[in-house]
Amino acid sequence: MEERIEFSWHDYGVFGLMLALSTTVGVYFGFIKRQVTSNDYLLGGKNMSIIPVSSSLIASILSGVTLLAIPADVYLYGVTLWFTVPMFILTNALTSFVYMPVFYELQVTSTFEYLKLRFNNTIRTFASVLFVIGQLLYLPIVVYVPALALSQATNINTHVIVPLICTVCVFYTSFGGLRAVVWTDALQFIVMVAAIIAIVALGFSSDDIENIWNKNYEYGRLDISFSIDVTKRDTFWTATIGNSLIWTTYFMYNQGFVQKCISLPHYKAVRCAIINFAIGVMIIFSLAILTGLLMFAKYWNCDPQLLGKIKQYDQLLPYYVMDIARTIPGLPGLFISGIFSAALSTLSASINCLSASIYEDFIAPHIKKGTSERAITNYLKLLAMLIGALVTLLTYIIPYLGTIQPLAITVGSVTGSTLLGFYTCGMLIPAINAKGALFGGLTSILFVTWIISGAQYYKSVGLITYEPLPIGTGGCQNVTFLNSSVISYSRKTEEAAFVIYRISFYYYTLLGLLVFLLVAFIVSKLTPNCNKRLTKKYFSPVIRRFFNDSFISSLPRYTEQRAELLEIEKDS
């Protein structure tokens, strides 16, 4: 029996050093250079530098899901996902010129404060609840990914690893605030980039470039489908339209992303940080795609899962690293540290912005005026600890929900399309009022939840499956390849599952957004007297040039007298 490939003491040393450095940052900003005020804790005193913020943005957005799930997805389904990369130019331009200027000008601690200004407090609360739910659904996936990688490398149970990840992260996040998050992210960004570059370089050195290309070409990994069939899992359109819109929801209005940008001293610095972010994301995303091709060139002749070397495909990349780097002391440890770094940065950023959102939207309105800054900071630290504990508990259900890439996208789509609809309508469509936004949001989330629930049901009973591209079996001994069973499931899918449930999960966010806009527009037209008083600063600069304050004031709205009458009627 082949010996199991596991960590050496060099690997444990590298991994332990990364955790120790992350903890040290938390100790420094939590106990030595303490964050005295809530502004220091949440916004770093608004004097953060471009380079660490840029690195932090990249590290927090590119979680372990990117580094682990995307290579496995390419290994199974091909390189089509790469076409998302050029679209980052467009999505980051939208962020820089359409959405972020509004947040920065208003200087909102929570992005949901904007929705109160533009619509009303009901919309703000609704959106904030959706954001909290979405993050609590997504963060357990972020935590589970590095636990899976470390478990593959060390044979330590994931149930032991998960509390370790959360404890380290919650410690430096809760005590160090945004400064600790940003500087730890910058450190983890360096580790993450070093790890993925080292693995790509080693992959090329261990195989011939021509062979890598030929094997991927022969087995369809380089094929691109331009089919307009929305039920196909991977096409040019799912990558350029569907997946690009999903990535847009990760940073266009994301609380953590906005919070870090607002921590910069001026908007020129914000644009520089966003440009750096776009370049970094495109490079790392491309390297993750390339890693998937390298893995297939290594295992094209026999799949490690068929041999029982891994339990699920999300463990394939750690296995590959341990396999090709076993003779290089410390490199597997560097790679696992990179996966952990990506996860810790995403988790820390999310915990920080979640605590900010929960405090600003649900706690601050109910605490006494004049509460000391120290007390507010303690509230925020306690929230960070509670969020970390809840995420730890939720992580234990992730192994039963399928592979990471579709799971992460599906979970993000539940709330992402509705939140994107709120900010898009708010900043770009003056005619949509609070009632339209509310009904659009409710309809959108119910619609997306219905589709996802139906699709998950059919997947759970085996009536919807995604047939992977072929894998050679000549190098496997006494192993029966399972492609035949996948094909039979595909035939059953055609017979049993209604077409709407078979729509590619990459389109869920797009569908939700379209439903939101349609319903919001219709309801706004039917309720013309539901606008509040608006000013130009609530709208994106790209549309301000097309109207002036007289246009805004001419929009149908509640007048002050009408509002008073409604209050009197309500009281009586």
Give the number of other CB atoms < 10 A from CB of residue 544.
15
In this predicted model, which residue has the larger pLDDT, 369 or 389? 389
Q: What is the pLDDT of residues 314-352, one digit of tens each?
A: 788 888 888 887 777 777 777 777 777 667 667 776 777
The DSSP annotation for 385-439 comes to HHHHHHHHHHGGGGGGS--HHHHHHHHHHHHHHHHHHHHHHHHH-TT--HHHHHH
1 part of a folded domain: no
pLDDT tens-digit map of 168-224:
766 656 655 556 666 666 776 777 788 788 888 888 888 888 889 999 999 889 999
513 confidence band (pLDDT: 50, 70, 90)? very high
Number of domains the chain contains: 1
370-385 as b/e: b if 16+ CB within 10 A: eeeeeebbebbbebbb
pLDDT band at 515 (very low <50, low <70, confident <90, very high): very high
Pair 111, 258: CB distance under 8 Å:
yes
Please report the pLDDT score of residue 174 as a whole number. 60
On average, the pLDDT of the chain sits at 77
The span from the CA of 380 to the CA of 339, in Å, is 27
In one-letter notation, the amino acid at residue 251 is F
Which CATH number covers residue 250?
A: 1.20.1730.10
Q: Look at residues 461, 460, 448 and name the one whose alpha carbon lies nearest to residue 505.
A: 448
Helices 255-262, 267-299: axis angle to 10 degrees equals: 140
Domain residues for 130?
Answer: 13-571
Q: Which two tokens stand for residue 82?
A: 């790469």
**Token duo for residue 450:** 């219905």
Check whether 441 has a pLDDT greater than 90: yes
* Buried residues in 90-126 as b, exposed as e (16+ CB within 10 A): ebbebbbebbbbbbbeeebbbbbbbbbbbbbeebbbb
pLDDT of residue 184: 67
Residue at 474 is within a domain: yes
Please tell me the pTM assigned to this model: 0.79
Q: What is the pLDDT of residues 257-291, one digit of tens each?
A: 887 788 788 888 888 888 888 888 899 889 999 99
Q: Is residue 115 situated within a structural domain?
A: yes
> Does residue 403 belong to any structural domain of this protein?
yes
Give the model's pLDDT for residue 391: 82
Closest-CA residue to 432 (of 510, 526, 513, 509): 526
State how far the Cα of 66 lies from the Cα of 251, in Å rounded to an integer: 15
Q: How much is the pLDDT for 421?
A: 92
Q: 88-136: per-residue pLDDT in tens? A: 888 888 888 888 888 888 887 678 888 988 888 899 889 988 888 888 8
Residues listed for the chain: 572
Residue 354: pLDDT over 70: yes
Evaluate whether 103 touches 261 at the Cβ level (below 8 Å).
Answer: yes
Residue 75 confidence (pLDDT): 93
Q: How confident is the model at residue 567 (pLDDT cuts 50, 70, 90)?
A: very low
Q: Is residue 7 one of the residues assigned to a domain? A: no
Cα separation, 338 vs 348, in Å, equals 15
Q: Which of 170, 166, 184, 180 lies closest to 35, judged by CA?
A: 180
The pLDDT of residue 176? 53
Confidence band (pLDDT; 50, 70, 90) for 360?
confident
The token duo for 270 is 């914000």
* pLDDT, average across residues 2-11: 63
Structural contact between residues 90 and 426, judged by C-beta atoms closer than 8 angstroms: no
Residue 210's CB: how many other CB atoms inside 10 A?
8
In a domain, 6, yes or no: no
**Greater model confidence, 488 or 380:** 380
Distance between CA 277 and CA 214 in Å, rounded? 33
Other C-beta atoms lying within 10 Å of the C-beta of residue 142: 26
The confidence band for 39, taking pLDDT boundaries of 50, 70 and 90, is very low
Instruction: Tell me which amino acid residue 61 is.
Output: I
pLDDT at 563: 42
Q: Does the residue 118 lie in any domain? A: yes
Residue 527 in this model has a pLDDT that exceeds 80: yes
265 occurs within a structural domain: yes
What is the model's pLDDT at position 443? 95
